[in-house]
Structure 1
Amino acid sequence: MKRMMVTGGAGFIGSNFVHYWMEQYPNDVVLVVDALTYAGNMANLDPVQQHPNFMFVQADICDTPQMEQLLREHQLDTIVHLAAESHVDRSITGPDAFLETNIMGTHSLLKAARQVWITEGQCPAQHRFHHVSTDEVYGTLAPEDPAFTEETAYAPNSPYAASKAASDHLVRAYHHTYGLQVSTSNCSNNYGPYHFPEKLIPLIITNILADKSLPVYGDGKQVRDWLYVTDHARGIEKVLQQGRVGENYNIGGHNEWHNIDIVNYICQMIDKAFATDKALQERYPEAISAIAGQSARLITYVKDRPGHDRRYAIDARKSSEELGYQPLESFQSGIEKTLNWYLDNPQWWRAVMDGSYREWIAKQYA
């Protein structure tokens, strides 16, 4: 039985990981630590909040003494570190927050884990600090380049990617210098339920439903490998259970798509959904283009962002061969689940977009 801290567990990937883990391992103790900044949302954790082994603490991972106290008090033996600033556009306009959270926050957690687990010895011999990172640390690929492997040299091109690369190096250093039992996973672009609507897929879905323009950077030919978020949770599970201490593992979805092709595909899916389910027209009367079967007319090409990486692609053979990991969802099946979730949960994304959920948080944690 594990006693686990999940940092950033009220965010998109974090909350989906918590849902998955508590469903698979209901006897494990899971403590979520989240600062509840703009992308942290307690509503993401509604499915597990009544579970007897679930706990939540609103805290900043940069508060090292509090992190130490939580590790001691709850006798935790595992940290799954997901807390991070992650939106590239925001890192371009305001990089300081990314350095503070992604670098100093990770260092704070590493210091706390070392202090409690190693210096004080208040942990079983088999502890684990698992760090969740990104494929963006590897930089960009040309169209014919081979996919990123765990041996690819780091070459981050945005402040976000640079901050994650730095945190990866810190995790590695704490293993080699202090003996902390660590692992790191570098994942491709995630999508699925509870995805904050500033990211491409939820932005396209929610903008179509509001009949707003669909912004596409540059020519839209940027390529990303897409991973359904529950498949990512399964990948982390494999690393925790079978991964070698001190190792990095790439977790990918084997789904390379051009951004513009994703936008067009979602347009087609929503047009089809509105055509076959007339109730959607009543539920979303403002979705004028979708009702007309012409969502694609909302596509608007905008100026490309600075330093926009052209292509990411994950080679996940190491995870497959060592851990037996394979994603279960194709992009088509995963995007269908994602679209259906957004169509069925307008109260969630509307609250996120208008900020009303913060009032609920204030009442719950006054």
Structure 2
Amino acid sequence: MRILVTGGAGFIGSNFVRHILTAYPDDGVVVLDKLTYAGNVANLPPIAATPHLSFIQGDICDAEVVEHALTGCDAIVHFAAETHVDRSLLNAQDFIATNVQGTYTLLEAARKKDIQHFLYISTDEVYGNACSPEGVSRPSLETDTLRPLSPYAASKAGADMLAFSYWASYGLPVTITRCSNNYGPYQYPEKQLPLFIMNALEGRPLPIYGDGQHSRDWIHVCDHVEALAFILHQPAIRVAGEIFNIGAQEERSTLQNALTVLKILEKSDEQISFVQDRLGHVRRHAVDTTRIRLQLGWQSHISFTEGIRQTINWYQENTAWIESIKEKRNDFLNTALNLGVQRQ
């Protein structure tokens, strides 16, 4: 199988590429990535020395670039997206352009090229707060109404439904996955856990929004990409038109995560710094994974206890990667790293 992986130089995308090249050595991978602030070719294996891997720098909103990248491909795994809630609250325009228009461009190209599998990577953010139709808190089901609470989540929900419509209208073999919060190697440090790890290591406060009790289900990225590769290699007739939640049943609050990182690194709890809550902050994200477990027989296997230690070790051992990120002097990242400094 030859796979076009959009956003393959990002956090989850690059981990997916590494997994495919290891677990499915006969597959070929074409990475299409715009290389915005979070995309980094250093996240990928050495391209020149990896015969089954090729790289194209380009925008998924550019139809000509997409058509060229799809040449000879059998499947698309679509990661490319603007993903950070906080950034979307400041400027939603890029999220609408990339996440909605970019997905449309890919779907149209896939329809014309007769692609065999189109795997769209959505998010549990599309559900909003995890609850039943009656308002009772519980893990989200694939059949729940989408109630996104941020511009990022809304852009993903729009693209999610657009992808589904291409299966319903044109018979394009689309599969949608909605995963819980990821963590692990190569994650851009504006996100919660790498930010906590870096700040703990470098002696800065760990900023905690609101009361710190916002809860998320956390899955190690290696579990997530294993699930995606497993779905991709199912017969299309078995997964086309389906939506699968992916999660680990590892719900933890923001405050719990901060305290865990500090404990593992033997740092003082005094590095905790509570800051003003963000707008539209979802109280609980969690997904019910019954469908993927019963229908496909897949479930996660990396515990948070094991995974967070592995992740902390990775950031400790990959200081050159971290320094290369910091050298870019991204204003938003700098603000995120120092968010709690003035509020101790």
Query: Is the pair's TM-score, using the shorter chain for normalization, greater than 0.5?
Result: yes
Paired residue for 1:139?
Answer: 128
If the length of structure 1 is used for normalisation, what is the TM-score?
Answer: 0.86
Q: What's the RMSD between the two structures over aligned residues? A: 1.5
From 256, 261, 270, the counterpart of 1:261: 256
The correspondence for 1:113, drawn from 110, 132, 147, is 110
Give the CA deviation at 1:114: 1.1
Task: Give the stretch that moved more between structures: 140-149 or 96-105.
Answer: 140-149
Q: How many residues align?
A: 324
1:281-300 matched pairs, under 5 angstroms: 290=267, 294=268, 296-300=269-273
Could you tell me how far apart the structure 1 residues matched to 2:322 and 2:119 are? 30
Q: Which residue of 2 aligns with 1:32?
A: 31
Unpaired segments ≥5 residues, structure 2? 331-344
Q: Rg: which structure is higher?
A: 1
Separation in structure 2 between the aligned mates of residue 254 and residue 157 of structure 1, nearest angstrom = 22
Match of 1:302 in 2: 275
* Deviations 1:315-364 (CA, angstroms, capped at 9, x unpaired): 0010001111111100001101101101110111121122189xxxxxxx
Correspondences of 1:1-366 after superposition (within 5 Å): 2-46=1-45, 50-72=49-71, 75-117=72-114, 127-141=116-130, 145-242=137-234, 243-271=238-266, 290=267, 294=268, 296-355=269-328
Instruction: Tell whether the 8 Å contact from 2:47 to 2:55 is kept in structure 1 after alignment.
Output: no
Distance 2:176 2:130 in 1: 22
Task: Tell me, in whole angstroms, the C-alpha distance in 2 between the residues paired with 1:50 and 1:236.
Answer: 25
Q: Assess if the C-alpha contact under 8 Å between 2:215 and 2:285 holds in 1.
A: yes
Q: Percent of aligned pairs with the same residue?
A: 45
Instruction: Please list the CA deviations of residues 144-187 of structure 1 after superposition, one character each: whole Å capped at 9, or x if unmatched.
Output: 61210111110001000000000011101111111111101000
Using the TM superposition, give the Cα deviation of residue 238 of structure 1 relative to its aligned residue in structure 2, in angstroms. Answer: 2.2
| Runs of 4+ deviating beyond 6 Å | none
Give the Cα–Cα distance (whole angstroms) in 2 for the partners of residues 44 and 336 of structure 1: 20
| CA-CA distance at 1:133 after TM superposition | 0.5
Counterpart residue type for residue 53 of structure 1: H
Q: Which residue identity is paired with 1:337? A: Q
SS in structure 2 opposite 1:340? helix
1:28 & 1:51 partners in 2: Cα distance?
12
TM-score (norm 2): 0.91
| Conserved 8 A contact 1:19-1:47 | no
Q: Is the 8 A contact 1:197 1:353 kept in 2?
A: no
| 1:49 Cα deviation from its structure 2 partner | 5.2
